Copies of this chain bind each other. A is one copy, B any other.
Amino acid sequence: MSTFDAVPDLGLNWLDASGDHAEIVLSTRVRLARNLQGHAFGPRARVNDREAVLSRVRQHSDRLDSLEGATVLHMPDLDARRRTILLERRLASRELIGSADAEPANGTAVVVSGRHPLNVMVNEEDHLRLQSVVSGLRLREAWSQVDRLDEELGRELPYAFHHEFGFLTSCPTNTGTGLRASVLVHLPGLVLTKEISKVLHALGQVGLTFRGLYGEGSEVVGNFFQISNQTTLGKSEEDLLDHLDQVVRKVIQHEREARQVLLRDAGSVTEDKIWRAYGLLRYARSLSFEELMNLLSGVRLGVSLKLLPELRVYTLNKLMIFTQPAHLEEAAGRDLTPSESDAHRAAFVRRILGSEGDVSPDGPESSDERPAPGA
């Protein structure tokens, strides 16, 4: 059994929906970009730089409190499917895992803490990308996790730091604090009421940006938006986090208002849409990932609006992750064609929703105003 198999829930603590506003905020992520003195970084890094960096990280990975019980996954040692699983779990970037045309470089790795919601990408764009991902809206928590790791690691390793610019990074947009915090929010209300573009525009005006589920360059699916800071320089980490926190709370407020508008102006249409999504998930024989995400978006809205109270947010989170192509192939123990993948996805969804117990087709509402045609 490889190290990979030993950690089936590798880096997935944030799925448990335990955080604040968990039905709207899937997760909070804070990452710090760091580079080591004495080794070229960014595009100038050579294989010996990368191997030296990884070797220094390995030395410490198990000795630091934050990385207790850590698993070090060296990219070239993993097959393509498992590397993709790391991407699907948001533990590795598309750049890190390589592709069919470009095998991952020697020295590229992901370190996953055994006890804390922490991981480190090694030799991605920067030598180190320390990140913490936690459930719900918990910027302080994610920050304090990653800050502790940063301190512990910084005591052992010589960070590249400039007294004026701060931490030096491969791309100048990360220089300074090296911090990017992002919050993954589910905004179906704003999408359905067509208020979303206004909100996204306003984000830009206050120095924030948004991305899809898989970060930079990825498309928005299932009405999930990653909202994050654009600036990393000239402000303290606390200021950056406070600002993001305040804005995200406002976005959540707008989302809640949009949902009330939806219920008021199109209650039965919305309810119908939610139940249809559930019905399709419960019975479909083939689901593309995109369709699944759209249906899950409807069902998640239903859970949040207490129309589908028997379903747990945790279940919905789990469905998002384990229905991705590499996860399905891992479970099947073999490669899957796209149509096989769609069939396995649908079967998995049926199984999980079935094991959740049946949601009564009549929902939580009592039987008042229920027509009773005589047959």
Binding site for B on A (CB under 8 A): 8, 268-269, 271-272, 275-276, 278-286, 318, 322-323, 327-328, 330-332, 339, 343-344, 346-348, 350-354, 358, 361-362, 370-375
Shortest distance from the beta carbon of A159 to any chain B beta carbon, whole Å: 39
Which residues of B have CB within 8 Å of A8? Answer: 374
Contact, CB under 8 Å: B280 / A276: yes
Partner of A279, one of B283, B370, B375: B283
Partner of A328, one of B268, B327, B371: B371
Q: How many copies of this chain are found per oligomer?
A: 2
Contact, CB under 8 Å: A371 / B347: yes
- 22 pairs from A and B in contact (CB 8 Å cutoff): A268-B285, A268-B286, A268-B343, A269-B286, A271-B285, A276-B283, A276-B284, A278-B283, A279-B280, A279-B282, A322-B375, A323-B373, A327-B373, A331-B371, A343-B371, A344-B373, A347-B371, A348-B375, A350-B361, A351-B372, A354-B361, A358-B358
Chain B: CB-nearest residue to A318: B375
Contact, CB under 8 Å: A370 / B347: yes
Chain B: CB-nearest residue to A355: B375
Chain B: CB-nearest residue to A283: B279
A331 to B375, CA, bound (A): 9
Contact, CB under 8 Å: A322 / B283: no
Query: Chain A's interface: helix, strand, loop or mixed, by majority?
Result: helix
A371 to B318, CA, bound (A): 16
A8 to B348, CA, bound (A): 45
Chain B: CB-nearest residue to A272: B285
Listed from nearest, the 9 A-B pairs whose CB atoms lie closest are A331-B373, A279-B283, A279-B279, A272-B285, A344-B371, A275-B283, A272-B286, A348-B373, A322-B375
A271 to B339, CA, bound (A): 13
Contact, CB under 8 Å: A284 / B272: yes
A289 to B25, CA, bound (A): 39
Contact, CB under 8 Å: A331 / B284: no
Which residues of B have CB within 8 Å of A374? Answer: 8, 330-331
Given contacts A276-B283, A278-B283, A280-B280, 20 further A-B contacts (CB under 8 A): A8-B374, A268-B285, A268-B286, A271-B285, A272-B286, A275-B283, A275-B284, A276-B284, A276-B285, A279-B280, A282-B282, A331-B372, A331-B373, A332-B373, A347-B370, A348-B371, A348-B373, A350-B361, A351-B372, A354-B362
A143 to B344, CA, bound (A): 52
